[in-house]
């Protein structure tokens, strides 16, 4: 366990209202053992043996060739189990840990479905702008030269541009519930002919208070539709949504536990002094190559990023007070290693696929244990290992 105590400097303990609108854990309520796995014997990680290869899937040959050229050979568990069911037209509930490749698990069979269907249209709902943009980018990467169009409908960007794009036929509309509802209210998006919908990170959309928007959107869709529902958790509230939105769904669970087996977790005990000093000392170490730091408040995250930059640490920030262009630039700089550190509120905790994050640091305690799970899921993705540290 990291035992670090400092008594000098100013404190960066972000007090005040949480960026997510929920109170964080009190220090007294923390079960520190939940953030440590160094002393716990881990079960042997038995590799998943897929039944298919990507070459086996019954998808359009041009699409198959494109994804194989992109290096897709052996599917992950969620891809191996979900793709055949989606191709058969079944409603699907997919429960999977973060970083398991579920975006491709629904995009690939749906691109095939649209390719072979006359005027087929797909709606994909995601909880955050960043995740919606990422899904749209993956879609465009998969289709290659296939003539198929999408519009990404998210807040923080020009709604006028999105309205203009919606005047044309788009096979895929990918967006956040609030912006999709806004476009529907303006009469520029009619979902009655959409026969496929994906609810990605449905548990996060529920957590963020999008349930009314989700219900409104779903009520306007074609009743004879295929619904795909993906979540990292399965609660009574999620079960209620499944029974409300899906018909006789095929359930696929490839979740292996609360946290990824290849994320090494530990805590950093802070004394009465400054957390920024502890963080800065850690970031000087060579092993901290690409670090995602989570804070609770928008103001605290920006303040921390600015302070790290003053200390010579290349840093970028993502939070709700930054517009979409600023947030995307920060994310791109981090992905391209122009920024060593990305400081973020929980807006970045779900769904984002950022390559090669060496460490996740919980500078502030997450609001819930589920938030913790999704924060640390930004490292140790796929078959790589990562480390997660929580400041206590």
Domain ranges of the chain: 2-43+261-391, 61-253
Contacts 24+ apart (CB under 8 A), 156-159: 156/129, 156/323, 156/324, 156/325, 156/327, 157/129, 157/324, 157/325, 159/183
DSSP 321: T
pTM: 0.70
Residue 233, pLDDT above cutoff 70:
yes
Q: What is the pLDDT of residues 154-193, one digit of tens each?
A: 988 889 999 999 999 999 999 999 999 999 999 999 999 9
What per-residue confidence (pLDDT) applies to 120? 92
Distances (CA, A) of 241 to 184, 199, 203, 212, 228: 22, 11, 10, 12, 12
Tokens representing residue 391 in the block: 């400041």
CB-based contacts of 185, cutoff 8 Å, min separation 6:
none
The average pLDDT across 46-73 equals 87
What per-residue confidence (pLDDT) applies to 258? 54
* CB neighbourhood size of 354 (10 A): 17
Q: What is the pLDDT of residues 130-140, one digit of tens each?
A: 899 999 999 99
- Where residue 13 falls among pLDDT bands split at 50, 70, 90? very low
Instruction: Judge if 2-43+261-391 and 61-253 fold alike in CATH terms.
Output: yes
Quote the CA–CA distance of 232 and 175 in Å, as a whole number. Answer: 19
The average pLDDT across 67-71 equals 88
The average pLDDT across 94-104 equals 84
What per-residue confidence (pLDDT) applies to 42? 44
What per-residue confidence (pLDDT) applies to 181? 95
Quote the CA–CA distance of 228 and 220 in Å, as a whole number. Answer: 16
Residue 142, pLDDT above cutoff 80:
yes
Question: What CATH superfamily is the domain 61-253?
Answer: P-loop containing nucleotide triphosphate hydrolases (3.40.50.300)
Quote the CA–CA distance of 97 and 259 in Å, as a whole number. Answer: 8
Q: What is the mean pLDDT of the chain?
A: 85
Contact criterion met (CB below 8 Å) for 229 and 199: yes
The three-state secondary structure class of 343 is strand
Class of domain 2-43+261-391: alpha beta
Distances (CA, A) of 277 to 32, 47, 169, 293, 345: 22, 40, 54, 14, 20
Q: What is the pLDDT of residues 262-291, one digit of tens each?
A: 789 998 988 766 899 999 999 999 999 999
């Amino acid at each position: 366990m990291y035992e670090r105590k400092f008594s000098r400097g100013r404190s960066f303990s972000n007090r005040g209202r949480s960026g997510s609108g929920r109170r964080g854990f009190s220090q007294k309520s923390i079960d520190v053992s939940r953030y440590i796995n160094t002393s716990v014997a881990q079960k042997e990680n038995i590799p998943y043996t897929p039944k298919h290869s990507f070459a086996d899937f019954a998808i359009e040959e041009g699409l198959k060739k494109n994804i194989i050229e992109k290096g897709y050979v052996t599917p992950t568990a969620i891809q191996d189990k979900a793709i055949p069911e989606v191709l058969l037209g079944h409603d699907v509930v997919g429960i999977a840990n973060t970083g398991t490749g579920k975006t491709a698990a629904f995009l690939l069979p749906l691109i095939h479905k649209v390719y072979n269907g006359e005027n087929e249209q797909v709606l994909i709902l995601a909880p955050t702008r960043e995740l919606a943009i990422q899904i749209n980018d993956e879609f465009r990467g998969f289709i290659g030269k296939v003539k198929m169009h999408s519009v990404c409908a998210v807040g923080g960007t020009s709604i006028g541009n999105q309205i203009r794009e919606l005047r044309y036929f788009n096979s895929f509309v990918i967006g956040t519930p609030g912006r999709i509802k806004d476009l529907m209210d303006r009469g520029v998006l009619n979902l009655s002919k959409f026969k496929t919908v994906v609810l990605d990170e449905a548990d996060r959309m529920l957590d963020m208070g999008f349930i009314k928007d989700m219900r409104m959107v779903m009520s306007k869709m074609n009743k004879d539709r295929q619904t795909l529902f993906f979540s990292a958790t399965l609660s009574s509230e999620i079960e209620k949504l499944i029974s409300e939105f899906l018909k006789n769904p095929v359930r696929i669970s490839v979740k292996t536990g609360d946290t990824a087996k290849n994320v090494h977790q530990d805590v950093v005990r802070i004394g009465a002094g400054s957390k920024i000093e502890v963080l800065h000392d850690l970031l000087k170490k060579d092993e901290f190559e690409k670090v995602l730091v989570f804070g609770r408040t928008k103001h605290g995250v920006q303040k921390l990023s600015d302070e790290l930059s003053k200390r010579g640490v290349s840093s970028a920030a993502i939070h709700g007070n930054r517009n979409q262009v600023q947030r995307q630039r920060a994310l791109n700089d981090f992905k391209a290693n122009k920024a060593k550190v990305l400081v973020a509120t929980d807006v970045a905790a779900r769904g984002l696929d950022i390559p090669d994050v060496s460490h996740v640091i919980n500078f502030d305690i997450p609001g819930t244990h589920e938030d913790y799970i999704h924060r640390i899921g930004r490292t140790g993705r796929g078959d790589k290992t990562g480390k997660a540290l929580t400041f206590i």
